[in-house]
């Protein structure tokens, strides 16, 4: 149950939050808010958790655990985005290099540049 919930939150982050914001800090705050509201909004009424004001130190422990989880999730998606961007840049550079090595493309590019 815990793993499924964590994977679900990760999917929500990847699908809903990641395209909406490019800043990892903003994504972290949004994901942490979502996780805290969803867990305490559902688990308190179901009687699994006590309300935060009655939980004492357990609330702060859960806050730390959620913070670590959210930080790792945001870091994973940020790293994946950086790798994807790097691959795209490398691929585009390779396409440009191949296009410039083609004599016909090079000649047409030189004509375009000379017209400027």
For the whole model, what pTM was predicted? 0.64
Residue 16 scores a pLDDT above 70: yes
Question: How do residues 35-77 score in pLDDT, each as one tens digit?
Answer: 888 888 888 888 888 888 888 888 888 888 888 988 888 888 8
**Phi, psi of 19, deg, nearest 5:** -65, -25
Ordered by start, the domain boundaries in the chain are 2-115
DSSP 8-state code for residue 13: I
**Sorting pLDDT into bands at 50, 70 and 90, what band is 79?**
confident
Q: Decide if 77 contacts 18 (C-beta within 8 A).
A: yes
Residues 31, 54: Cα–Cα separation, whole Å: 24
CA atoms of 13 and 112, how far apart (whole Å): 45
């Amino acid at each position: 149950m815990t793993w499924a919930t964590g994977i679900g939150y990760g999917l929500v982050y990847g699908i809903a939050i990641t395209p909406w914001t490019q800043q990892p800090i903003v994504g972290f705050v949004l994901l942490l808010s979502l996780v805290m509201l969803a867990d305490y909004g559902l688990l308190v009424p179901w009687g699994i958790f006590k309300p935060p004001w009655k939980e004492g130190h357990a609330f702060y422990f859960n806050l730390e655990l959620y913070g670590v989880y959210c930080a790792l999730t945001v870091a994973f998606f940020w790293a994946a985005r950086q790798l994807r961007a790097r691959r795209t840049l490398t691929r585009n550079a390779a396409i440009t290099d191949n296009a410039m090595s083609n004599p016909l493309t090079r000649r047409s590019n030189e004509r375009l540049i000379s017209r400027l």
